[in-house]
Chains A and B, each alone.
Chain A
Amino acid sequence: MDTPTRTRTIEQRKNVVILFAGDSGDGIQLTGSQFTDTNALFGNDVSTFPNFPAEIRAPQGTLAGVSGYQLHFGSVEVFTPGDQCDTLVVMNAAALKANLSKLKKGGIIIANRDGFDAKNLRLAGYPDDARPLEDGSLANYTVHAIDVTKMTRASLEGTTLGTKEKDRCKNMFVLGFINWMYDRGLEPTERFLEQKFGRKPEILEANRLALKAGFDFGDTSETFTTRFEVKPAPLPKGTYRAINGNQGIALGLVAAAQQAGLDLFYGSYPITPASDILHELAKHKRFGVKTFQAEDEIAAICSAIGASYGGALGVTASSGPGIALKTEALGLAMMLELPLVVVNVQRGGPSTGLPTKTEQADLWQAIHGRNGEAPIPVIAASTPVDCFEMAFEAAKLAIEHMTPVMLLSDGFIANGSEPWRFPQAKDLAPIVPPFAKPVGEDGVAAEQFLPYVRDERGVRPWAVPGMQGLQHRIGGLEKEDRTGNVSYDPVNHEKMVRLRADKVARIADTFRPIRLDSGPDEGDLLIVGWGSTYGALRTASLALQEEGHLVAHVHLRHMFPFNPGLGALMQRYRKVLVPEMNSGQLRQLIRSEFLIDARGFNKVQGLPFMAEEVRAAALQFLNE
């Protein structure tokens, strides 16, 4: 940059949490994700949490319309988007009112003064005489009120854009200013703008001008005496990209299909927060990915079953309400013993519940939610990067063990992103479909083909239409062992129920023994978690260990069957705490499976855990 006109203090920070908030039309998500990319490129560790309003375009200026994007970046490893923020950027009064409680005492507020006029204050529900930016009510914070709208318009005076279009560049002004405040260059954002608006030179230029104006405003205004610097984090060496959970799932599925040599068929019905998996997969047709937007959730899963029957990897995804609709077909897939991956990106329930909020309350649905005895493996992803790994594993288990597999994610990791030291294709595990041997090999003749003869793992052969001499019929009726013919024989039914359950139980033999995420091998407290609470639980556990407590953390990825060794592990601690974003679903499974008196720490607010509340709960339990 040009030589600064004044001397400025640069404060070093280990990590910073910044929350961008404004109307859903203010471009908050774009601003947040751009600043995230800039910091990631700089070498920080990052973790993000976008928080969308429930409505697509709620009335402007109201609390219901506030969209947020929280970013935690650090020169140290960060595991969560942060409990409370250091800096709160608000585009209007509603954004301030909705988010002030998330700002640390003494934190910085960057406010768009133009979003605090009488109308905006009224819409946000402030009393008539309230003037939050001036009336001293924010005395505990450092407030920078900036005329963002006016200055953005001024910076675009030379353009032919209308006022409405000019105002759309407000977010770039703010982004420019924030980049100045945290001592970041504008190049990454400029590159992004060129890609996005390359074909609309006028819009591109306007966004650039606003971005630059925001940066220069910080640089020249005398109000700002302090900038902050967050040095790069000591992340493992390598090449990184950013990834969110839904992308992770999509890429994990494509990678698994490639490793197995199968086409990927994805049948799905739009639902929040799972739809982005469909959007992502629809882009990858050249990998043989076929996406099918079905007429409903039932057709989505049934089409995937049809595709698996045809020899492809059939996958469907949804969220809780959609999974409920799929359960009959899930039972069919289990009965047929065909590969199928079912992804549940959980959201707040029950019923329609809280579509844009996060929760992990579908664990029982995943494990128990079918008629009859219909066990299927259930696995759970804990971070956006883990979504890739677990989607890959879900597909591997489904294909190699001829079973539907349920993968649980949730809205928090689906939309949150983090840096990913992505693997190379050659390092991915092999996936071997158990295709039936064609007639002729091993002297198998047509009339001898038995579709439900099992190998040593209890897995039946996959005979796909088109394979000569292996014609057979399958269906949802109980079938005779080995032949697969319809059978109402009582003893056979019980045998088949056991054979199917046994096959799923033996999948645990392929799991790695359980490993602690952190902490001593034995001690006073074991924190047992699963899913997207990973970051908060890890942060809390590390803090407790640093304070000298004998606290360990284990994070489950295999919900059914459990990893071998979990029961023995829990016995080595005086107490077991199971924090969950539900009323205690894993806790009850653990209690019934292992007869361990586990305690729950439960939050069902549609929001992720804060590390601090987990730490406090663990501490209280320790001291009882």
Chain B
Amino acid sequence: MSTTNGTAPAARIDYASDQEVRWCPGCGDYSILKQVETILKEQGRPKEELVFISGIGCSSRFPYYLDTYGMHGIHGRAPAIVSGLRSVRPELSVWMITGDGDSLSIGGNHLIHLLRRNVDVNILLFNNEIYGLTKGQYSPTSPEGAVTRSTPMGSTDHPFNPMALCKGADGTFLARAMDRDPKQLREVLTRADAHRGASLVEVYQNCNVFNDGAFEVFTDKASKPFHTIFVEHGKPLVFANGTKGIRLDCMRPMVVDLEGGEWSADDCWVHDERDPYKASILVRLFEDPTEEGAMPRPFGVFYQADRPTHEEKLNAQVQRAREKQGAGDLDELLRGQHVWTIG
């Protein structure tokens, strides 16, 4: 096979395939596709070195719409397909497209193992808190009480907190973004792509057909400042247009008023992406925004750690075996250690 260095494409459209995009009109997926195309253009990486792997679900149609290599796999198994591909092709840029049902329900097992192994892949977890392709059942991220086609009296299941789950699995890059904030989404995707290892980006994505407005409180211009907080490395956790902040009081986060004179931004929790302990607290800011006094929901890069990737370690072993024993000689292998001769 040949890998050649192509030249960077001139226009964004170059990364789009000839297939008609078939998500519902108004779906948040369009925005995510557009931002991905934009950052691919910015990077200018040859199309043939890009691979998009997906599972099953609305989001998993994504690979069909890009003129890169792509595989639309089976439900929940994209992480496993990615793990095999990365093991043998560490030089490629691999992206995994998945949803809340695909990666947190049927594929939950594979996701946590991919994270602990730290396979180098950019994971876009489209979270719309609903099963869209099967037409409206509750998902593992739907809030308790969610009324859906399969839960007419409300869901009795406690939902996953995806960031906390992925932190628990020792993910080395954890970030949250939303479809309706394209600039922040691009920034996070660019950071995710630059990270060596498993980069997990949870994207709040509106399903306007089966779960419209699930994240409205975070995206609506009026409520957004009070219910979201955009974390940046080295900067204090401040929200509500600078009027409020979050302070760590003995490891317990608390919202403080920055206008009363008692507290200033200097007293607030300073975000440190490299601090695993603080990240564990940050992912826990997951309160129901409709409840009185709820903490704002964080967005941005929560955590980043440098850990060798699975494929680096695997290929290093191959390399080491060759250095120690020489490249394999098939005749020697077939012969084995003990032989005898007859005749």
Chain A interfacial residues counted at CB < 8 A: 73
B51 interface residue per 8 A CB criterion: yes
Q: Are A265 and B89 in contact (CB under 8 A)?
A: no
Q: A258-B330, A303-B87 are in contact. Are A465 and B340 (CB under 8 A)?
A: no
CB distance from B319 to the nearest CB of A (A): 9
A41 interface residue per 8 A CB criterion: yes
Q: Are B318 and A285 in contact (CB under 8 A)?
A: yes
Q: Are A476 and B73 in contact (CB under 8 A)?
A: yes
CB distance from A356 to the nearest CB of B (A): 26
Q: Are A473 and B2 in contact (CB under 8 A)?
A: no
CB distance from B43 to the nearest CB of A (A): 16
Residue from the list A284, A299, A311, A470 in contact with B83, Cβ < 8 A: A299
Among residues of A, the one whose C-beta sits closest to the C-beta of B328 is A287
Contacts of B89 in A (CB 8 A): 310-311, 465-466
Contacts of A332 in B (CB 8 A): 73-74
Q: Are A287 and B339 in contact (CB under 8 A)?
A: no
1/0 contact trace for A210-252 toward B, CB 8 Å?
A: 0000000000000000000000100111111111000000010
User: A314 CA to B87 CA in the complex, in Å?
Assistant: 11
1/0 contact trace for B284-327 toward A, CB 8 Å?
A: 00000000000000000000000000000011011011101111
Q: Are A299 and B314 in contact (CB under 8 A)?
A: no
Contacts of A59 in B (CB 8 A): none
Contacts of B343 in A (CB 8 A): 236-238
**Of residues 460 to 482 in A, which have CB atoms within 8 Å of B's CB atoms?**
464-477
Residue from the list A239, A289, A299, A470 in contact with B80, Cβ < 8 A: A299
Most buried by B among A299, A308, A472: A299
Q: Are B77 and A298 in contact (CB under 8 A)?
A: yes
**Of residues 290 to 340 in A, which have CB atoms within 8 Å of B's CB atoms?**
290, 292, 294-296, 298-300, 302-312, 314, 328-329, 332, 336
Secondary structure dominating the interface of A = mixed
Q: Are A465 and B69 in contact (CB under 8 A)?
A: yes
User: A295 CA to B310 CA in the complex, in Å?
Assistant: 14
Q: A332-B74, A476-B73, A476-B74 are in contact. Are A422 and B83 (CB under 8 A)?
A: no
Contacts of A473 in B (CB 8 A): 17, 19, 63-64, 69-72
Contacts of A393 in B (CB 8 A): none
User: A259 CA to B131 CA in the complex, in Å?
Assistant: 46
Q: Are A290 and B88 in contact (CB under 8 A)?
A: yes
Contacts of A510 in B (CB 8 A): none
A556 interface residue per 8 A CB criterion: no
B1 interface residue per 8 A CB criterion: yes
B4 interface residue per 8 A CB criterion: yes
Q: Are A286 and B80 in contact (CB under 8 A)?
A: no
B267 interface residue per 8 A CB criterion: no
Residue from the list A328, A471, A476 in contact with B47, Cβ < 8 A: A471
User: A305 CA to B85 CA in the complex, in Å?
Assistant: 8
Q: A286-B325, A309-B81 are in contact. Are A435 and B340 (CB under 8 A)?
A: no
A350 interface residue per 8 A CB criterion: no
B334 interface residue per 8 A CB criterion: yes
Q: Are B48 and A305 in contact (CB under 8 A)?
A: no
B191 interface residue per 8 A CB criterion: no
CB distance from B254 to the nearest CB of A (A): 39
Residue from the list B64, B88, B335 in contact with A307, Cβ < 8 A: B88
Q: A295-B110, A306-B53 are in contact. Are A240 and B81 (CB under 8 A)?
A: no
Residue from the list B47, B68, B69, B88 in contact with A265, Cβ < 8 A: B88
Q: A236-B342, A422-B334 are in contact. Are A475 and B71 (CB under 8 A)?
A: yes
User: A295 CA to B3 CA in the complex, in Å?
Assistant: 31
User: A311 CA to B69 CA in the complex, in Å?
Assistant: 13
User: A407 CA to B314 CA in the complex, in Å?
Assistant: 27
Q: Are B339 and A302 in contact (CB under 8 A)?
A: no
Contacts of A292 in B (CB 8 A): 83-84, 87, 314
B92 interface residue per 8 A CB criterion: yes
Residue from the list A239, A258, A468 in contact with B46, Cβ < 8 A: A468
User: A464 CA to B85 CA in the complex, in Å?
Assistant: 11
A161 interface residue per 8 A CB criterion: no
User: A243 CA to B326 CA in the complex, in Å?
Assistant: 24
Q: Are A296 and B339 in contact (CB under 8 A)?
A: no
Among residues of A, the one whose C-beta sits closest to the C-beta of B2 is A438
CB distance from B268 to the nearest CB of A (A): 40
Among residues of A, the one whose C-beta sits closest to the C-beta of B72 is A475
1/0 contact trace for B243-260 toward A, CB 8 Å?
A: 000000000000000000
User: A237 CA to B314 CA in the complex, in Å?
Assistant: 41
B159 interface residue per 8 A CB criterion: no
Q: A265-B88, A466-B92, A486-B64 are in contact. Are A286 and B2 (CB under 8 A)?
A: no
B82 interface residue per 8 A CB criterion: yes
User: A435 CA to B71 CA in the complex, in Å?
Assistant: 18
B234 interface residue per 8 A CB criterion: no
Q: A302-B84, A468-B2 are in contact. Are A476 and B327 (CB under 8 A)?
A: no
1/0 contact trace for B1-34 toward A, CB 8 Å?
A: 1111010000000000101000000000000000
A1 interface residue per 8 A CB criterion: no
A267 interface residue per 8 A CB criterion: yes
Q: Are B3 and A240 in contact (CB under 8 A)?
A: no
Q: Are A307 and B67 in contact (CB under 8 A)?
A: no
CB distance from B87 to the nearest CB of A (A): 5
User: A98 CA to B327 CA in the complex, in Å?
Assistant: 48
Q: Are B1 and A466 in contact (CB under 8 A)?
A: yes
1/0 contact trace for B35-56 toward A, CB 8 Å?
A: 0000000000011110101001
**Of residues 472 to 521 in A, which have CB atoms within 8 Å of B's CB atoms?**
472-477, 485-486
CB distance from B171 to the nearest CB of A (A): 15
A423 interface residue per 8 A CB criterion: yes
Q: A290-B314, A470-B48 are in contact. Are A310 and B71 (CB under 8 A)?
A: no
B195 interface residue per 8 A CB criterion: no
B336 interface residue per 8 A CB criterion: yes
Among residues of B, the one whose C-beta sits closest to the C-beta of A300 is B80
Most buried by A among B53, B77, B110, B334: B334
B109 interface residue per 8 A CB criterion: yes
B341 interface residue per 8 A CB criterion: yes
A19 interface residue per 8 A CB criterion: no
1/0 contact trace for A190-228 toward B, CB 8 Å?
A: 000000000000000000000000000000000000000
User: A329 CA to B76 CA in the complex, in Å?
Assistant: 11
A288 interface residue per 8 A CB criterion: yes
User: A95 CA to B71 CA in the complex, in Å?
Assistant: 55
Contacts of B317 in A (CB 8 A): 285
1/0 contact trace for A419-463 toward B, CB 8 Å?
A: 000111100000000010010000000000000000000000000
User: A464 CA to B318 CA in the complex, in Å?
Assistant: 22
User: A307 CA to B71 CA in the complex, in Å?
Assistant: 12
Q: Are A302 and B73 in contact (CB under 8 A)?
A: yes
Residues of A with Cβ closer than 8 Å to B? Answer: 37, 40-41, 43, 232, 235-243, 251, 254-255, 258, 263, 265, 267, 284-290, 292, 294-296, 298-300, 302-312, 314, 328-329, 332, 336, 422-425, 435, 438, 464-477, 485-486
Write 19 A-B pairs (CB below 8 A) sorted by A numbering. Answer: A238-B342, A239-B340, A240-B339, A240-B342, A242-B338, A284-B333, A290-B314, A294-B83, A298-B110, A299-B109, A306-B84, A306-B85, A311-B89, A465-B85, A467-B48, A468-B3, A470-B48, A471-B68, A485-B19
CB-based closest 4 A-B pairs: A237-B343, A475-B72, A306-B84, A303-B84
